[in-house]
């Protein structure tokens, strides 16, 4: 089943609950939580306090995307009853295998994100351990950037890799996804679509979610 995870990063933070309600009622299945530390990426977003303010206010599971250095120090802070995935960047983890085990030790599904220039082979020796691979189709740090087309071939390669080695893995794409290009990524094997600006900056976010879901069928 393919799912849509609107990214909270592009929401209006002054009325967070309203924005979350809007996309949940429109049918979005997960909430993508972009955490940035100003070190791994050149931007600072928000941390666990903001994420936890939504507990009890939404039934959507959280898809936590940690764009931070030393994620091992903070993983525990993101473990909540809503947390489905915690995803770390391969580029930020010196001991990636250890970090994956740490996420799983909390009973949370483990994901690894790859920057556009990072090859899939960095996952070769942990691939069977993973619940999600998040392919970045922009350089992480900001919403509203343009989709990098080389991600399309990377999705296909990842899907092939998953067919033989980890058929239930979630293949996620993040960055520059719109209602115009979402079909192309889903056709190539994406099962979790992250979209920020194309949802929250749309004239009508409810309609945008519905259009996404329609295109993803
Ligand atoms: C970028 C973040 C994304 C971002 C996507 O570093 O990881 O999740 O919110 O925003 P859009 O969909 O606008 O590219
Ligand atoms: Zn993200």
pTM as predicted: 0.98
Give the distance (Å) from ligand 1 centre to CA of residue 140.
Answer: 7
Convert the pLDDT of each residue in 133-170 to its tens digit.
999 999 999 999 999 999 999 999 999 999 999 999 99
- Residues noted as catalytic: 34, 174
> Among 138, 139, 209, which residue has the most ligand 1 atoms within 8 Å of its CB, making it the best to mutate?
138
CA distance 34 to 26: 21
The 8-class DSSP code of residue 159 comes to: H
pLDDT digits (tens, 9 = 90+) for 23-42: 999 999 999 999 999 999 99
In the chain, alpha helices (H): 16-26, 48-52, 96-105, 151-165, 182-187, 197-200, 205-216
Query: What pLDDT is stored for residue 31 in this prediction?
Result: 98
Domains of the chain are 3-215 (3.20.20.70)
pLDDT at residue number 40 = 98
Q: Is the CB of 140 under 6 A from ligand 1?
A: yes
Q: What is the structure's pLDDT at 212? A: 98
Ligand 1 in reach of 71 Cβ (< 6 A): no
Q: Which residues of the chain have a pLDDT value below 50?
A: none
Judge if the beta carbon of residue 6 lies within 6 A of ligand 1. Answer: no
Cα 116 to Cα 45: distance, rounded to the nearest angstrom: 21
Q: State which of 142, 177, 190 you would mutate to test the pocket of ligand 1, scoring each by most atoms of that ligand within 8 A of its C-beta.
A: 142
């Amino acid at each position: 089943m393919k799912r849509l995870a609107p990214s909270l990063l592009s929401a209006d933070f002054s009325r967070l609950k309203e924005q979350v309600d809007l996309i949940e009622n429109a049918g979005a299945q997960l909430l993508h939580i972009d955490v940035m530390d100003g070190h791994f990426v050149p931007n600072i977003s928000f941390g666990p306090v903001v994420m936890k303010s939504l507990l009890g206010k939404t039934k959507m599971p959280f898809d936590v995307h940690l764009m931070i250095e030393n994620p091992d120090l903070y993983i525990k802070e993101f473990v909540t009853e809503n947390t489905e995935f915690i995803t770390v960047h391969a580029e930020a983890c010196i001991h990636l295998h250890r970090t994956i085990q740490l996420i799983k030790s909390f009973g949370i599904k483990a994901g690894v994100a790859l920057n556009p220039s990072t090859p899939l082979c960095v996952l070769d020796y942990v691939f069977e351990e993973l619940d999600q691979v998040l392919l970045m189709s922009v350089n992480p740090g900001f919403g509203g950037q343009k989709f990098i087309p080389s991600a399309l071939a990377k999705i296909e390669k990842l899907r092939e890799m998953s067919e033989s080695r980890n058929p239930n893995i979630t293949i996620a794409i993040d960055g520059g996804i719109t209602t115009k290009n979402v079909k192309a990524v889903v056709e190539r094997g994406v099962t979790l679509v992250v979209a920020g600006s194309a949802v929250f900056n749309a004239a009508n976010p409810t309609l945008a979610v519905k259009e996404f879901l329609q295109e993803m069928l």
